[in-house]
Amino acid sequence: MKTCGLRFNLFLCATLLLALAVTPGCSLKERKRKSQPSTLRVHLEVQPDGRSNNGPVPIYRAQPVMVNVDLTPMLTEANVAGARVIDVVGGFALRIQFDQRGSWILEQRTVESRGRRFAIFCQFGAELKESRWLAAPIIGRRITDGVLVFTPDATRAEADDLVLGLNNIARVAKTKL
């Protein structure tokens, strides 16, 4: 009888140790994903004037188009209230909702800069190892609702990573308010 009880306790201990060894790995990976950040920088196209605060940047990796931008971003991830990947005809797009301050800036810039472009730079993925200029949408109208929608030069998985990181940043910013 004592042998059977000892055998049972060994199996119980082995099972518990195995469960403890597996569980933290899963939750650690999930915790890292829930805290993964992304960056977003929205720059405005400007005329090249030889000063150091503007310069050309390559948009689209396959056939780069050079766009001269103000190197100081007008909006950043600090202005993002939320982000989503949305389905559109022929693929997907990113929908970025800005907070109140970001909405005001976006409205002001779209009024005064119609016909120019925004150049959008992002860093995303594990440890922000992916970084590139994603898009350069033309400003065609005044944006009053604080929503910027554009088709990125990214795969769907990369777009999902970017959105996850932006929403993580937005969630942290909301809790600090």
Residue for token digits 């992002």? 122
Which residues, other chains included, contact 144 with Cβ-Cβ below 8 Å and sequence gap of 6+?
Answer: 103, 107
CATH number at residue 105: 3.30.1360.200
Q: Are both 31 and 47 inside the same structural domain?
A: no
pLDDT score recorded for residue 105: 97
> 14 falls in which pLDDT band (50, 70, 90)?
very low
**Is the pLDDT confidence value at 91 over 60?**
yes
Q: Are both 60 and 134 inside the same structural domain?
A: yes
pLDDT score recorded for residue 173: 78
pLDDT score recorded for residue 24: 52
pLDDT tens for 127-160 read 888 899 999 999 999 999 999 999 999 999 999 9
**Is the pLDDT confidence value at 86 over 80?**
yes
Q: Are both 138 and 165 inside the same structural domain?
A: yes
Distances (CA, A) of 89 to 30, 93, 130, 151, 155: 32, 10, 26, 11, 16
Nearest CA among 117, 134, 106 for reference residue 39: 134
Instruction: Judge if pTM exceeds 0.75.
Output: yes
> 4 falls in which pLDDT band (50, 70, 90)?
low
> 54 falls in which pLDDT band (50, 70, 90)?
very high
Of the two residues 35 and 144, the one the predictor is more confident about is 144
Residue 3, domain extent: 1-35
Lowest mean pLDDT among 48-52, 121-125, 145-149: 48-52
Buried b (16+ CB within 10 A) or exposed e, 57-75: bebeeeeeeebbbeeebbb
pLDDT score recorded for residue 3: 53
Distances (CA, A) of 95 to 4, 73, 120, 130, 166: 62, 18, 13, 20, 11
Q: Are both 61 and 1 inside the same structural domain?
A: no
Q: Are both 51 and 30 inside the same structural domain?
A: no
> 49 falls in which pLDDT band (50, 70, 90)?
confident
For the chain, how big is the Rg over CA atoms in Å? Answer: 23
Q: Are both 5 and 46 inside the same structural domain?
A: no
- Give SS3 for 13: helix
> 35 falls in which pLDDT band (50, 70, 90)?
confident
Q: What integer best gives the mean pLDDT of the chain? A: 85
Q: Are both 124 and 145 inside the same structural domain?
A: yes
